[in-house]
Amino acid sequence: MTIQEKLDKLFLRVEKPARYIGGELHTIKKDPFGVSTRFGFAFPDTYEIGMSYLGLQIIYHLLNKLDYVYCERVFAPALDMDGFMKVEGIPLFTLETKSPVQEMDILGFTLQYELSFSNVIHMLELGDIPLRSKDRDHSYPFIAAGGPCAYNPEPLADVMDFFMIGDGEELLIEVCEAHKNWKVSGRGKDAFLEDISQIKGVYVPKFYQPVYSEDGTIKEIQKLSDRAPDLVEKRIIEDLDQADFPENTIVPFIEVVHDRAVAEIFRGCTRGCRFCQAGMIYRPVRERSKEKIKEIATNQLHSTGHEELSILSLSTSDYSEIEPLVEELMSVCKDNNVSLSLPSLRLDSFSFKVLQEIQGYKKSGLTFAPEAGTQRLRNVINKSITDEDIYGAVEKAIELGWNNIKLYFMMGLPTETYEDLDGIAEIAKNITDINYKVTGKRGGRFNVTISISNFVPKAHTPFQWVPQDTVESFREKHRYLKEKLKSIKGVSFQYHDTDPSQMEAVFARGDRRVCNALIKAVELGCKFDGWREHFKYDLWKRAFQETGIDPDFYTYRERNLDEVLPWDLIDAGISKEFLISENKKATEGIQTQDCRKGCVGCGINRKVTCSREGTL
């Protein structure tokens, strides 16, 4: 039986078979044997999650525009399918042609969150592909990775043949072009890696070798190839209006997490929150023009028939022409009978006007992200929202009829004390008081949700040196806050599990050695770690024990500012001096202004023209 025949039978046994069939609107059909580069775009999670990721749509369409490339999609099969595939001997396959991933020339993973690393390993296993780069000869595809987690590539350095750092629009095309040329040249695998190591943004781990000190820290990173660059600079698309953006996005048959048309309005963020990796690595801020956004939105709605339009960025309200943009998009939506969804809107009077109009009587919840319970701690993390901002907006919201308020906080932030937790409870209490003041009622349908995530220090941020809070401390803090909030009527409390946050921390700042634990954990059965019901902490603990790796070294250890960090050879554009200065200002509780108000000297202007440069 061929894969196809076996699959036909399997599809009747599994849940949501449409996850695996392909053939959706705007998918591309090509003759796989008529191209020089078969590129498997792998998303290490289920179809519904992967298909909600805009990057996939961008890359899929820009690669398939090249006549010599065929880009096909690969997702992690859900557990039921996974089990059947093993029993039936069906290797991991692409959706477009149901080809085994082994037949790809390049299999590229997108790394969106650290807890998907186990799925990367597991998917290679399912594809019958040796896990380590050194064990793969010329008969296997090149295995590559990109995305935000590639900014600390080291935990997967032994697995990947190469990483692509930064914006992918130009970089991927250059890599595929190099592949096409290499293929006709008939040279060996290493020759290709050497070729692409010359492309800005490509990191080939085998050309570098970390040397460790006795205390386990990195002494130096040795370069093993003369041609490899000393530092790998991230790629930056300077003009978003010129960048490829798909209008014929793939429309899934089944409902996925984000089932809608979407236009990216800008990349980067000017706010400079010190915990936020995205805010650092996606600099500088680059806006797409209002006209271009409108054009994309209109064309995408026409070509897909979607019922909802959304815009994407790190902070919607910071778009310089947000009011005219939203008004124009509202009219586009009205014309097309679709709804508009505006994520991460700052709640000022304009937003309320808009929300009133687009949500009407169907009011969704309102969300705030103060991140910390006191002004002191918000100064430390450089989050500019104040209590007054929150209370003012909440009062207005309640007056307009909203009765669901959700607040996001982080726990375990540097310098956090129990007073900061009291601050969270106080905010919750004050909000219920505001509701009483406005409506004259307590309880009822009014609800405040306090949602807590656990702080994970990330590479390339001012907090890249700080220790993570311990598991015990997190547990005690959760318990403390839960107790405090229990006595306030109408307040519910949610928090993330502690153990996955610890694993996330190991891989966010891990070096090459943690890879052994990762591979071991997958061997023991870890996968889908980002899914609460699938995360198996006991297996992770065993994996660390059996490989002799101490997770505490990566999580709880405070690094010296002059320590060589595993990701030091990745140049994310911002200067280390800036990160150090931000780190010091954090300790002193001094805020740094939003760089829309004036340049703060992050160093990105050394790489590209930054619209904030020279402003004061």
Shortest Å, Cβ 361 to other proteins: 7
Binding residues for other proteins, how many (CB under 8 A)? 25
Which segment (21-29, 56-64, 419-427, 448-456) binds other proteins by CB under 8 A? 21-29
CA 262 and chain centroid, separation:
17
CB of 253 to other proteins, least distance (A): 5
Helix axes 418-439, 471-486, angle to 10 degrees: 30
Contact call for residue 87 and other proteins (CB under 8 A): no
Cα–Cα dist 51/59, whole Å: 12
Is the separation of the CB atoms in 260 and 305 below 8 Å?
A: no
Least distance (Å) between residue 3 CB and other proteins: 13
Between residues 337 and 487, which has the closer beta carbon with respect to other proteins? 337
Is residue 458 near other proteins by the rule CB under 8 A? no
Is position 86 an interface residue for other proteins (rule: CB under 8 A)? no
Q: How far is the CB of 295 from other proteins (least distance, A)?
A: 17
DSSP letter for each residue of 288-336: PPHHHHHHHHHHHHHHH--SEEEEE-S-GGGSTTHHHHHHHHHHHHHHH
Return d(Cα 530, Cα 523) in angstroms, integer. Answer: 17
| Window of 62-70, 85-93, 139-147, 301-309 that interacts with other proteins by CB under 8 A | 301-309
Q: What is the largest CA-CA distance in the chain?
A: 79
Residue 12: count of CB within 10 angstroms of its CB: 7
Stretch that binds other proteins, among 146-154, 242-250, 297-305, 398-406 (CB under 8 A): 297-305
Supply the minimum distance, in Å, between the C-beta of residue 55 and other proteins.
23
Nearest to 240 by CA among 281, 293, 278: 293
Closest CA to 292 of 237, 249, 332, 241: 241
Nearest by Cα to 109 from 48, 70, 166, 162: 162
Of 8-16, 282-290, 502-510, 524-532, which part binds other proteins (CB under 8 A)?
8-16
Contacting residue, 22, 155, 201, 370, with other proteins by CB under 8 A? 22
Q: Does 339 bind other proteins (CB under 8 A)?
A: no
Tell which residue, 502, 408, 484, 387, has the closest CA to residue 452: 408
Task: Looking at residues 222 to 251 of the shown chain, list those that interact with other proteins (rule: CB under 8 A).
Answer: 251
Site track 567-596 with other proteins (rule: CB under 8 A), x = hit: ------------------------------
Sheet holding 447-454, edge to edge: 366-371, 404-411, 447-454, 491-495
Residues found in the chain: 616
11 belongs to the binding site for other proteins (CB under 8 A)? yes
Residue selected from 9, 441, 479, 532 as contacting other proteins according to rule CB under 8 A:
9
Q: Least distance (Å) from other proteins to the CB of residue 61?
A: 18
* Position 433, amino acid: D
By the rule CB under 8 A, 23 interacts with other proteins? yes
Residues 25-84 that bind other proteins (CB under 8 A): 25
Q: How crowded is the C-beta side of 597, counted as CA atoms within 13 Å?
A: 6
From the CB of 397, what's the least distance to other proteins, in Å?
21
Q: What is the DSSP letter of 67?
A: T
CA–CA gap between residue 41 and residue 108 (Å, rounded): 5
Q: How far is CA 483 from the centre of its chain?
A: 32
Q: Is residue 306 near other proteins by the rule CB under 8 A?
A: yes
Gap between the Cα atoms of 348 and 340, Å rounded: 18
Q: Does residue 304 bind other proteins (CB under 8 A)? A: yes
486 binds other proteins (CB under 8 A): no
377-396 mask for other proteins (x: CB under 8 A)? --------------------
> What's the CA dihedral at 228, 234, 235, 241 to 10 degrees?
180
Task: Name the minimum Å distance from CB 261 to other proteins.
Answer: 11
Helix axes 79-88, 117-126, angle to 10 degrees: 30
17 binds other proteins (CB under 8 A): yes
Does the protein bind other proteins through residue 358 (CB under 8 A)? no
Q: Which amino acid is at 487?
A: S
Tokens of 36: 């020089």
Residue closer to other proteins by CB (options 10, 604) is 10
For other proteins, give the closer residue by CB, 360 or 548: 360
Site for other proteins in 171-190 (CB under 8 A): none
408 binds other proteins (CB under 8 A): no
Report the residue from 217, 299, 303, 384 that binds other proteins according to the rule CB under 8 A: 303
CB of 307 to other proteins, least distance (A): 7
If binding is defined by CB under 8 A, does position 361 make contact with other proteins?
yes
Residue burial 125-158, b: 16+ Cβ < 10 Å; e: rest = bbbebebebeebeeebbbbbbbbbbbbbbbbbbb
Q: Which stretch binds other proteins (CB under 8 A): 7-15, 241-249, 289-297, 509-517?
A: 7-15
Q: Are 605 and 613 in contact (CB under 8 A)?
A: yes
Among 86, 187, 227, 302, binds other proteins (CB under 8 A): 302
Question: Which residue stretch of 19-27, 153-161, 200-208, 347-355 sits at the interface with other proteins (rule: CB under 8 A)?
Answer: 19-27
**Measured from the CB atom, is 248 or 451 closer to other proteins?**
248
Indicate which single residue of 217, 336, 344, 593 sits in contact with other proteins (rule: CB under 8 A): 336
Smallest distance, other proteins to C-beta of residue 9, A: 5
Q: What Å distances lie between residue 396 and 409, 439, 500, CA to CA? A: 22, 12, 37
Whether omega before 414 lies within 30 degrees of 0, making that bond cis, reads no
Closest separation in Å from C-beta 413 to other proteins? 42
Under a CB-based contact definition with an 8 Å cutoff, are residues 573 and 282 in contact? no
Q: How far is the CB of 23 from other proteins (least distance, A)?
A: 5
Rounded-to-integer distance, Cα 230 and Cα 179, Å: 23
Nearer residue to other proteins within complex by CB, 220 or 307: 307
**Binding string, 249-288, against other proteins, x = CB under 8 A?**
--x-xxx---------------------------------
Where along the sequence are the contacts to other proteins (CB under 8 A)?
9-13, 17-18, 21-25, 251, 253-255, 302-307, 336-337, 361
